[in-house]
A and B are shown apart, each in its own frame.
Chain A
């Protein structure tokens, strides 16, 4: 009992202190309060995860939600620190970020569809303002607003079909007992499509590159590192808990989405000249990889997806930290990055490590994600999906390689020093990516235990023995 209350109280305090920054307007206090409360929430979730705590009342604390609680607390701290680096109106950003953070926690621990929608709105609405505040034009914010409004509408329509069976709209509602009907299937597909907007799955992701490029990079880091991952958490709840009975029908849809998203992201990334846009497409392709585990629909496969979500969050936030720093000096294209290694060897090496991790080279965090996802697909009988994934990770090396060539070329670029907050986020992400890569066991085990909760607690029929 105490853990749910602690988390709830901390979330309220986080929102309150965040909103109070609008009164005192002190950026340092705002940052400190965000970081402290998020750290406390993260520590509580970590304690809940380590002790195997389980509760399902107003909110749901399980292996799954507490693992993601830890992840999101850390990544939200990074996002706050990043925003602190260059902003002269951080107090406003901090208030919005604290609301986003509360929304993330609501989605993560939601026990009913109402709180899920509420949480998603609490994330989307402040994000619109964050994008608008931090970019020169209103266009990306408007685009994001329209897209998320459409997504919420579709989601509400999708779950309306459930009202007839469970007016409480509980997520734990076992749809296995409900008859498999065409209407319910339509609802399930609508809900998946709605979440695909935020999760950046093709063909619902056409807005992504413009918004990612248009927003300032600290917000892009938030979008790619947190908002998108929250969408995957919601997708996991909706498809593997709520519509668990429909998994055999949903898995082919995930398969198609995954293949299309991987190819779309990677092929578009090949032709980009703007680094930020390239990373936007690269992050789309990574969403396609994450979805491989969903298409596999086994406990092992979902564990692989969870691992990949964790690994990718840190990699992409770290990358956008470096991109933010260069963006502030007007450096955006691949050519602008030339000779980065001559003036900023640490940043150059770090970005290289992130790209090698994204490309899936061992011994870095991204490699184990791909190994787990592809081996999950093969053991789930989806050999061709694994081959498509491997083909795609091969394609990706070309654009990462091109940027690496630029970074390590000769020249003497003019660069201003890196602010401490950015250095902190960059190095912290580097340490995580390398540490997970060198010793992935704890993270893989945590991801497996989270996914076994998702499958075990609701006794879905789709689980199958994992190899190893």
Chain B
């Protein structure tokens, strides 16, 4: 069955290279075919694979000199996240490039990010994880810089410096594990088996380095300052994929680290504290943003804080909630950025004060925006709701009522998003769109809306898979 994993990696990679080499029109077709194929394969395995912990695995020798095999596994966590990646990737390739500018480069980068994300989520060896992690960093850098607009130069350099700081910490932790794990193997199973017997200082150091690396990537306060610039100056496709997919590199890394290294309950309490601070901080800063994209960026950061709450609970409920949260957040935030990108395309520069009346002038995009805000908040019927319930159930079990404090941040975010929606509802605005969203754009909305409601109404389809 390794053909499934190989094709999940080869199709996006080949699609990326082809779509860069071909002419623009062919490029779009090839990229779309690659994205659809990946989506079909992942969704097919999720629906018909019977959802065991492992649908497919692939292992082969790679670099015996340093004991690194190629090892991937699809199933459980990796299946859920691959599903998110393939949905977001499909929508981004289909709808994310409103202006059809630099089509070849945009498709190349989008599929490369999909490739790196699939590789990273399916990897069961820290070394392989790291390789895909850095591919994702390089690709996102170009997504922000080469395709972005506005102050993209500063945003891209900031992103690169923060990301490489995270990579460096990850590398340091990886090397320490490589030397101190008795079998000199970076397989997750070996790390997990050795985690109890590492020297105390190395254990603390590795957990701290990994924790900070993943905090930077998610991002979590105080390492978030690259985020708002990056999200707001990347292209629509870029901000969809960076906020939807790349931020999950950090969240997934955090989840994996907690599951493998089994940190002490003190670490978990610190993590909860940091998660709470981060969520509240993001809520307060987001409240004051006039630029809608920046507001969406801080909303996303608050959500990631909530996901960290689930992880820090170190319970199976919390883990399942965090995982479902990553899935839900990936879909809802990319829907939000898709709608905002479409608005920017239609009306030029957008800020919260200008959007009055879009529901009349641009009904489809306007209502999608409203629904995506609800989905981001995790209202019932959307996937985020299931995630939040699981996360806070897990958190109260581990931390008691203290685990509910971060819920306050979510309520704050809800409050200001509600104010925002109230501002765009009136129909007496004088907005006149200069452009209209394409059919592809509308299909993109449809796909993401379908996913968020399907996963919200029928959560058991996937929840069975994540008996952690």
Contact = CB atoms under 8 A, between A and B. Distances in A.
Given A362-B134, A398-B161, A440 B63 contact: yes
Contact of A444 (B66, B138, B165, B176): B66
Contact of A378 (B65, B153, B175): B175
A361 interface: yes
Contacts of A360: 171
B245 interface: no
Nearest to B174: A371
Interface string A396-409: 01100110110011
Contacts of B137: 361
Contacts, number: 88
B168 A391 contact: yes
Interface in B111-160: 130-131, 134-135, 137-138, 141-142, 145-146, 153, 156-157, 160
Nearest to A442: B65
A379 B179 contact: yes
B418 interface: no
B172 A441 contact: no
Interface of B is mostly: helix
Contacts of A439: 62-63
B164 A374 contact: no
A73 interface: no
B464 to A, nearest CB: 35
Contacts of B167: 361
A226 interface: no
A356 interface: yes
A409 B157 CA distance: 13
B179 A375 contact: yes
Contacts of B67: 467-468
Contact of B145 (A390, A408, A440): A408
A361 B141 CA distance: 13
Nearest to B156: A405
B131 A387 contact: no
Chain A interface size, under 10 / 10 to 19 / 20 to 34 / 35 or more: 35 or more
A37 to B, nearest CB: 32
Given A362-B131, A387-B172, A408-B146, A468 B66 contact: yes
A394 interface: yes
Contacts of B258: none
B119 to A, nearest CB: 10
Nearest to A378: B179
Given A390-B172, A398-B161, A371 B134 contact: no
A371 B177 CA distance: 12
A423 interface: no
Contacts of A391: 168
B178 interface: yes
A371 B179 contact: no
Contacts of B65: 440-441, 444-445, 448, 468
Nearest to A392: B168
Given A440-B63, A468-B66, A401 B160 contact: yes
A409 B153 CA distance: 8
Contacts of B168: 390-391, 393-394
Contacts of A341: 146
Contacts of A402: 157
A467 B178 contact: yes
B184 interface: yes
A468 B184 contact: yes
A61 interface: no
A439 B65 CA distance: 11
Interface in B375-421: none
A360 B134 CA distance: 10
Contacts of B184: 467-468
Contact of B63 (A356, A361, A397, A441): A441
Nearest to A467: B184
Interface in A367-391: 367-368, 370-372, 374-375, 378-379, 383, 386-387, 390-391
Contacts of B175: 371, 374-375, 378, 386
A341 B168 CA distance: 28
> Which 8 interchain pairs have the tightest Cβ spacing?
A444-B65, A362-B131, A468-B67, A397-B164, A468-B184, A394-B168, A467-B184, A379-B179
18 contacts: A341-B146, A356-B138, A359-B164, A361-B137, A375-B66, A383-B176, A394-B168, A397-B161, A398-B157, A401-B157, A401-B160, A404-B145, A408-B142, A408-B145, A409-B153, A441-B62, A444-B63, A468-B67
Interface of A: 341, 356, 359-363, 367-368, 370-372, 374-375, 378-379, 383, 386-387, 390-391, 393-394, 397-398, 401-402, 404-405, 408-409, 439-441, 444-445, 448, 467-468
Given A444-B65, A468-B65, 12 more contacts: A356-B138, A370-B171, A371-B175, A372-B66, A378-B176, A390-B171, A397-B160, A402-B157, A404-B145, A408-B146, A439-B63, A444-B66
